[in-house]
Amino acid sequence: MAAAKPLSAFVDGERLWARHMALAAFGARPDGGVDRPALSGEEAKARAQIVAWGRAIGLQPFTDQAANLFLRLEGREPGLPPVVAGSHIDSQPTGGRFDGVFGVLAALEMAEAIVACGKRPLHPVEIVAWTNEEGSRFAPGMTGSDLFTGGKELAEVLAIRDADGVSIGDAVAAVLASDDDVPLRPFGLPIHAYIEPHIEQASVLERAKVPIGIVTGIQGTRRYRVRVTGEAAHAGTALRKDRRDAVMATARMICAMDDAALEPADTLLTVGMLQVTPNAPSIVPAEAYFSVDLRHLNNAVVDRVDGEIRRIVDDLKGPCSVELRQIQHSPSLDFSPDIRRTITKAAAALGVPAMEVYSAAGHDARQLHYVCPAGMIFVPCRGGISHNPDEWAEPEHLTSGARVLADAVWTLASQEDGSSG
Ligand SMILES: [Zn+2]
């Protein structure tokens, strides 16, 4: 920037930290964690707080039919597409104070810095909080960024229901009704560049003692739901040859899937959910319903294990019937080299150590990657612990992340042409 000081000089680390603690009050758990489901009353309160902070420095809030929240600061050329930064404010039921929140608050701090520096970049900048990133109340997650980028149909997403039967459509309507005069915008506005700051949720940075991760890409994921249907029978009288035991068939399938994912060693296969019906000790189970989460950086590995999983459920179902449904397929991706270079340069200019890392977890930046140059900044989290009340990030690392974001956004928002180089 033309001023003697870079934008990062106006980032206030104490305010950034205080806001993390303030936002953690919405959905606070007694153990210090956060339980703030997507589109819940607690999330609506956190959202109102963010709108209030934004309005206090002249940002204009917008929302859309997915209840994504945007806060806009005009640039010198309002017709230009904005540089957007942010993440999400929903949490897992056993969530922490930093997952998602850091991205939104770092972006807000970037806007605070622009207002404080007294200058405006060429492009507008926007802060975003995407709806339902986590997917724990409404599965699958990332429905807000999916709708914004055209990855899913509105009607299909609005019909998704939580465990109590509440639809996303009804929950979105409630949140929009609670908004204080926040105008609706259409999905899919052009974006000049997108950066998502986030805690790493792994311990590569911590072990390397490096505060900034320049994220190279996101590993591929496939997620499934498997329903194995047998028949309930008396545990004492039903003969083995007559049984259609859904859990025994499921156990065979899960063991075989685990074997299929042994190579290469960094292939990750998780069965994190298993529901048994009727779930009674003396009844041969009539039904088992379970999840499979498969991840690897190399799409060929994911695709090979996918084929194995489909073969396994068919081969091992025995006398039961089986229904396998793939609920998500996200190939591995590489983030924009231009965004990665911009973040690298910003960290180097600040003298903040940085290294390249890849993201093992999915983020909204995946969806944005398909519509604009996108990238991510990671900061360390203690022990790599996340989705856990013990989630912790050091204040100085959050400040470094916000400072790198501020200078990277300033560079991108100052670009004259349509490129992001
Ligand atoms: Zn997150």
Give the DSSP per-residue string, 369-404.
HTTS-EEEEEE--GGG--SSTT----HHHHHHHHHH
Cα of 245 from ligand 1 centre, angstroms? 38
Summary count for the chain: helices (H), strands (E)? 12, 16
Per mean pLDDT, which range of 4-8, 195-199, 268-272 is the poorest?
4-8
> Stretch 120-137: mean pLDDT, rounded?
97
381 contacts: CB under 8 Å, gap ≥ 6: 98, 199, 200, 201, 206, 391, 392, 393
Cα of 22 from ligand 1 centre, angstroms? 18
Cα of 87 from ligand 1 centre, angstroms? 7
Q: Can you give the pTM of this predicted structure? A: 0.86
Q: Strand (E) positions, 230-353?
A: 233-234, 268-270, 274-277, 283-284, 287-296, 321-330, 333-334
> Stretch 31-38: mean pLDDT, rounded?
97
Residue-level pLDDT at 420:
44
Cα of 167 from ligand 1 centre, angstroms? 22
Residue-level pLDDT at 416:
86
At 137-175, the pLDDT tens digits run: 999 899 999 999 999 999 999 999 999 999 999 999 999
Residue extent(s) of CATH 3.40.630.10 domains in the chain: 7-219+333-413
> Stretch 192-205: mean pLDDT, rounded?
97
In order of 186, 225, 264, 312, 322, the CA distances from 315 in angstroms are 47, 17, 23, 5, 10
> Stretch 347-359: mean pLDDT, rounded?
97
Cα of 267 from ligand 1 centre, angstroms? 21
> What protein residues have CB closer than 5 angstroms to ion ligand 1?
99-100
The rounded mean pLDDT for the chain is: 96
Cα of 102 from ligand 1 centre, angstroms? 9
Per mean pLDDT, which range of 19-23, 177-181, 327-331 is the poorest?
327-331
User: What percent of the chain lies above the pLDDT cut of 70?
Assistant: 98
> Stretch 300-310: mean pLDDT, rounded?
97
Cα of 90 from ligand 1 centre, angstroms? 8
Cα of 16 from ligand 1 centre, angstroms? 18
CATH number of 220-330: 3.30.70.360
Residue-level pLDDT at 417:
67
Residue pair 391/199 in contact (Cβ under 8 Å)? The answer is: yes
At 257-276, the pLDDT tens digits run: 999 999 999 999 999 999 99
Cα of 140 from ligand 1 centre, angstroms? 14
Asked if pLDDT for residue 421 goes beyond 50, the answer is no
Residue pair 144/86 in contact (Cβ under 8 Å)? The answer is: no
Cα of 94 from ligand 1 centre, angstroms? 13
Residue extent(s) of CATH 3.30.70.360 domains in the chain: 220-330
Residue-level pLDDT at 382:
97
Cα of 133 from ligand 1 centre, angstroms? 7
Residue-level pLDDT at 164:
96
Higher pLDDT, 78 or 382: 382
Residue-level pLDDT at 2:
47
Cα of 392 from ligand 1 centre, angstroms? 14
Asked if pLDDT for residue 406 goes beyond 70, the answer is yes
Per 3-state DSSP, what percentage of the chain is helix, strand, and coil (rounded to 5)? 35, 25, 40
Cα of 233 from ligand 1 centre, angstroms? 43
Torsion angle of C-alpha atoms 67, 198, 346, 128, degrees rounded to 10: 10
**Token duo for residue 369:** 């990657």
Cα of 281 from ligand 1 centre, angstroms? 38
In order of 179, 305, 350, the CA distances from 106 in angstroms are 22, 38, 16
Residue-level pLDDT at 78:
81
Cα of 36 from ligand 1 centre, angstroms? 12
Cα of 211 from ligand 1 centre, angstroms? 18
Q: How far apart are CA 230 and CA 241, in angstroms?
A: 13
**Token duo for residue 178:** 């609670």
Asked if pLDDT for residue 345 goes beyond 80, the answer is yes
At 48-71, the pLDDT tens digits run: 999 999 999 999 999 999 999 999
Residue pair 91/79 in contact (Cβ under 8 Å)? The answer is: no
CATH of 7-219+333-413, one of 3.40.1190.10, 3.40.630.10, 2.40.50.140, 3.20.20.150: 3.40.630.10
In order of 213, 228, 271, 304, the CA distances from 323 in angstroms are 40, 7, 16, 20
Residue pair 409/215 in contact (Cβ under 8 Å)? The answer is: no
> Stretch 383-402: mean pLDDT, rounded?
97
Higher pLDDT, 4 or 215: 215
Q: Which residues of 326-342 are buried (b: 16+ CB within 10 A; e: fewer)?
A: eebebebbebbebbbbb
